[in-house]
């Protein structure tokens, strides 16, 4: 049985959380006084997203709709798919954008990073294996994209961001009538390599700490490692055990997907257990703010004034 919310608690004030996870690339933008309006240049943003069903894609598209009033923004679905990326670059160029920030709307900053860097001409060595659609191919067959635009690549994902932590806190508040009596399970897709997966779990601790600071009685993070059979089988057992144990100790268990959108496969994993499911990061206005912030950080780092925000607050 899945519990329904009895009433939503007011969402706590924004919690400023610094991302200090080692090994995840961050940028340091220039001070505002050093940022200049682009002379003879026009700015654009290319948002990369995994892609899913119609509702999944619609939520992502809605998250960038308001940004299009301020500069050209193009959306490329697919796991660093060269076809959708090329189409997005061409669209931005047709709208006059000669400097493009690529913001990667993924949970992990490591997702498809090597392939993305190669496609945008930011490294010369292709990945050993490249992803085309849902298939793997020999990376040597991958060709860089064709563009005359200046590319500024953001290497962060949403994991560990203050925006993600605040969204997860809001999701918990919507589903818990009494935080002290509530256990929270935060579940991510996960990564294949142990080091990558451990970095992701470490980054998720920021959201867990935000919930603990809001007096939630028990908070755990886990990664299902969905695309790797043996690690997934072990992770499923671990996740089910933790949710069951929390259910025995707490009045309510809330399960929050640490995903861009949707609940993922967690309903099947947790079949037969009592818990309250929530949405992923979308829909929420803070996803839009995160995209704008990441684009602004990269424009500022390049010495350009951003139409999406001030360099002073980066």
| 47, 91 contact by CB (below 8 A) | no
Same domain, 232 and 132: no
Strand 276-277 to 252-258 pairing: parallel
Same domain, 100 and 127: yes
Buried b (16+ CB within 10 A) or exposed e, 165-178: bbbbbbbbbbbbee
DSSP state letter for 126: P
Interatomic CA distance for residues 57 and 314, integer angstroms: 29
Same domain, 252 and 289: no
Same domain, 46 and 76: yes
Same domain, 299 and 246: no
Inside any domain, residue 118 = yes
58, 73, 76, 86, 113 from 92: Cα distances, Å: 20, 7, 11, 10, 21
pLDDT of residue 224: 98
* 245's tokens: 């144990």
Element holding 223 (H helix, E strand): strand 218-223
Q: Please return the burial class of 262, using the count of CB atoms within 10 Å of its CB with bins 0-12, 13-18 and 19+.
A: middle
DSSP state letter for 107: S
Inside any domain, residue 14 = no
pLDDT of residue 10: 33
- The pTM assigned to this predicted structure is 0.85
* Domain range for 147: 32-105+112-156+284-313
10-residue stretch averages of pLDDT, the chain, 314 residues long: 35 32 32 44 93 93 95 96 96 96 96 96 92 82 94 96 97 95 97 92 96 96 96 97 97 97 96 97 98 97 95 76
The enclosing domain of 212 has a CATH number of 3.40.50
Same domain, 149 and 232: no
pLDDT of residue 314: 61
Same domain, 188 and 79: no
Inside any domain, residue 2 = no
Same domain, 192 and 294: no
Inside any domain, residue 10 = no
Same domain, 173 and 266: yes
């Amino acid at each position: 049985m899945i519990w329904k919310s009895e009433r939503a608690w007011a969402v706590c004030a924004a919690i400023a959380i610094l991302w200090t996870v080692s090994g995840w690339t961050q940028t340091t933008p220039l001070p505002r006084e050093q940022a200049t309006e682009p002379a003879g240049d026009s700015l654009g943003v290319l948002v990369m997203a995994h892609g899913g069903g119609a509702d999944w894609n619609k939520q992502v598209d809605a998250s960038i709709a308001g940004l299009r009033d301020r500069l050209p923004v193009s959306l490329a679905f697919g796991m660093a798919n060269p076809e959708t990326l090329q189409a997005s670059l061409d669209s931005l160029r047709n709208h006059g954008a000669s400097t493009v920030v690529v913001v990667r709307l993924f949970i992990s900053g490591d997702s498809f990073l090597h392939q993305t860097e190669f496609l945008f001409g930011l490294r010369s060595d292709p990945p050993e294996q490249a992803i085309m659609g849902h298939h793997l191919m020999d990376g040597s067959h991958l060709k860089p994209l064709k563009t005359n635009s200046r590319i500024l690549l953001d290497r962060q994902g949403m994991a560990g961001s203050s925006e993600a932590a605040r969204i997860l806190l809001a999701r918990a508040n919507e589903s818990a009538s009494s935080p002290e009596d509530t256990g929270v399970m935060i579940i991510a897709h996960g990564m294949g390599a142990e080091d990558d997966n451990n970095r992701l779990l470490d980054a998720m601790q920021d959201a867990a700490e935000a919930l603990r600071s809001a007096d939630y009685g028990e908070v755990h993070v886990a990664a299902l490692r969905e695309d790797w059979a043996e690690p997934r089988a072990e992770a499923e057992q671990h996740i089910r055990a933790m949710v069951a144990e929390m259910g025995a100790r707490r009045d309510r268990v809330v399960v929050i997907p640490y995903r861009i959108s949707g609940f993922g496969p967690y309903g099947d994993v947790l079949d037969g257990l009592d818990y309250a499911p929530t949405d992923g990061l979308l829909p929420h206005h803070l996803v839009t703010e995160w995209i704008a912030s990441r684009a602004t950080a990269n424009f500022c780092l390049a010495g350009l004034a951003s139409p999406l925000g001030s360099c002073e607050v980066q």
